[in-house]
Chains A and B, each alone.
Chain A
Amino acid sequence: RKEVEQDPGPFNVPEGATVAFNCTYSNSASQSFFWYRQDCRKEPKLLMSVYSSGNEDGRFTAQLNRASQYISLLIRDSKLSDSATYLCVVNVFMDSNYQLIWGAGTKLIIKP
């Protein structure tokens, strides 16, 4: 089982719709979680950090379920500019170091 798993998509969603992605992780000692978005041929950009149960920023909501070991990202009222790949990242303390484990990403395409 991969340490961090995401549905690769693509998710094809009409503009204005609500879309949700899930990300599951295998290490129960994971301490913090991040969502990044990455546009084609660009660097990843931090979207949200999750340290407790969840976080909300405008149209974006991230929720953490430690019991089931998954993090979700909800995008409301989706815009064309939300089209990107969304990467789930999990912070784990192992081998005396904090390490970020990256999911493979979920591709989102918003259609007009």
Chain B
Amino acid sequence: DTEVTQTPKHLVMGMTNKKSLKCEQHMGHRAMYWYKQKAKKPPELMFVYSYEKLSINESVPSRFSPECPNSSLLNLHLHALQPEDSALYLCASSQQAGYEQYFGPGTRLTVT
């Protein structure tokens, strides 16, 4: 079963709100990823966790804060976002870093 789940599916938030995106996988994968995708563009890597440690942070603004509570879960905490942060946020996992990635359905975020 190559399933990655994400909640919520849709999220509308104001610029002063704090919210969290959640991602879960039960495939025993040891690498997990957050991507941001704008319309008609490829996914843009934000963060990589490998064995529950943050290994890559692609110069993402501090208003995005990742957290990996355990090997199955990945959170993305959002605070004081800007309208340009509106996008599809995708979570992915892979057996290890560099292997095939399997994506969740994404959270469509709108910042008003």
Q: Is there an interface contact between A91 and B43, defined as CB atoms closer than 8 Å?
A: no
Q: Is there an interface contact between B98 and A91, defined as CB atoms closer than 8 Å?
A: yes
Q: Is there an interface contact between B103 and A97, defined as CB atoms closer than 8 Å?
A: no
Chief secondary structure at chain A's binding surface:
strand
A11 beta carbon closer than 8 Å to chain B: no
Instruction: Give the Cβ gap from A45 to chain B, nearest Cβ, in Å.
Output: 7
Which residues from B are CB-within-8-Å of A80?
A: none
How many pairs of A and B residues are in contact by the CB < 8 Å rule?
45
A102 to B41, CA, bound (A): 10
Q: Is there an interface contact between A46 and B100, defined as CB atoms closer than 8 Å?
A: yes
Residues of B within 8 A of A (CB): 41-43, 45, 48, 50, 55-56, 88, 90, 96-106, 108
Which residues from A are CB-within-8-Å of B105?
A: 42-43
Q: Is there an interface contact between B100 and A49, defined as CB atoms closer than 8 Å?
A: yes
A104 beta carbon closer than 8 Å to chain B: yes
Knowing A102-B42, A103-B42, A104-B41, the reply to whether A34 touches B100 (Cβ < 8 A) is yes
Which residues from B are CB-within-8-Å of A97?
A: 48, 50, 55-56, 97
A18 beta carbon closer than 8 Å to chain B: no
Instruction: Give the Cβ gap from A25 to chain B, nearest Cβ, in Å.
Output: 14
Instruction: Give the Cβ gap from A105 to chain B, nearest Cβ, in Å.
Output: 6
Q: Is there an interface contact between A102 and B43, defined as CB atoms closer than 8 Å?
A: yes
- Select from chain A the residue with minimum beta-carbon distance to B90: A43
A19 beta carbon closer than 8 Å to chain B: no
Which residues from B are CB-within-8-Å of A43?
A: 90, 103-106
